[in-house]
Every structure is written in C-alpha cells, then in structure tokens.
Amino acid sequence: MVLAHPLLWKGSVRVRVCLHLCFGLCLGLLLALAGCITPSIPIPPPDPEQMTFEVEVQTGSAQFSYSPSGAYAGAAVYVFNRAKGTGVIDTARADGSVGPTLPFPAALGDAVVVTFESEQQTVSTCVVIRQGRQSAADICR
C-alpha cells in the first residue's frame, strides 16, 4: 500500500476546507435572501355590500362608488359592463374608497364586473346592478 505524500494530503485538506467554507457562505447568502422575500397576503374580492351604483335611467348611464377599504388603497379600479361591452377606469384613494366614477353606459339589471388591481394582485366581483347599495344577492350567477 502506498501512502500519499504529507504535503499533498495537507493541500487536499485545504481544498476541502475552502469548499466547505464556500458552500456555507453560499447557503447562508441564499437563506438571507430568502428571508427578504415576504409572501403576499391575498386581498379579498370586492364586497358587493360596499358597492353603490347610481343609475340614471333616462340617460342609460351609471356611476360607481366603493366604501373605504385599506386593502385597495391606490389600486386601479375597472368597472366593466358586460352587457354594453364598455366601462370606466378609476383609481382608489389612499383609504381604498372609489368614486363616484365618471358615468358609464349601464341599465338596471346589467352584469357589471368590478376589478381592483394592485401591483401584486387582481381581484374581481361581478354584480347585477340595481339602484343604490348592492348586496350579496346581487352577485352574478
């Protein structure tokens, strides 16, 4: 049996120690970076009970409003009337409230999709509009 020269053995240990250190540093850096990534908390879909539609029957238009909800602060808000194929875009205020929006084509009984879009998430609810405050019973079926 041939034994390796002691100087070669010392170099081999140095290489192993360096590899272990590099591996440990890389693993530590990876874990530190993973700790910086926070999971996003899903925002709830728009609540019909916080929606209000003011419908002008004579002009065939409506305006949309939404009560304050911090979850929607600064979100882009899309109110799309499926029946008419058009709608309005607005921005939620700092408290998450919206409107009243500009008038958009609508009639009582039209299916309207209300969408809130933040930087990370988009949530929607479809309601069949009626005059005034909506309810859970107004969700599109």
Q: What is the pLDDT along the chain (141 residues), one digit of tens a residue?
A: 555 555 555 556 565 655 555 566 555 655 555 555 555 678 899 999 999 999 999 999 999 999 999 899 999 999 999 999 999 999 999 999 999 999 999 999 999 999 999 988 999 999 999 999 999 999 998
Residues 115 and 91 in one domain: yes
Residues 28 and 75 in one domain: no
In a domain, 103, yes or no: yes
pLDDT score at 43: 83
Dihedral sign from CA coordinates of 95, 98, 99, 102: positive
CATH code at position 71: 2.60.40
Alpha carbon distance 100, 78 (integer Å): 13
In a domain, 43, yes or no: no
Q: Residue 74 CB: number of other CB atoms within 10 A?
A: 11
Residues 25 and 68 in one domain: no
- The total of structural domains in the chain comes to 2
Residues 67 and 122 in one domain: yes
Q: Domain of 27?
A: 7-35
Residues 12 and 67 in one domain: no
In a domain, 117, yes or no: yes
pLDDT score at 116: 97
Tokens of 133: 């405050």
Residues 128 and 83 in one domain: yes
Residues 70 and 14 in one domain: no
pLDDT score at 49: 96
Q: Using an 8 Å Cβ cutoff, are 79 and 105 in contact?
A: no
Q: Which of 80, 88, 137, 135 is nearest to 110 (CA)?
A: 80
Residues 12 and 66 in one domain: no
Stretch (H or E) spanning 91: strand 86-91
Q: Which of 96, 111, 108 is nearest to 132 (CA)?
A: 108
Torsion (CA) 81, 121, 45, 139 in degrees, nearest 10: 30
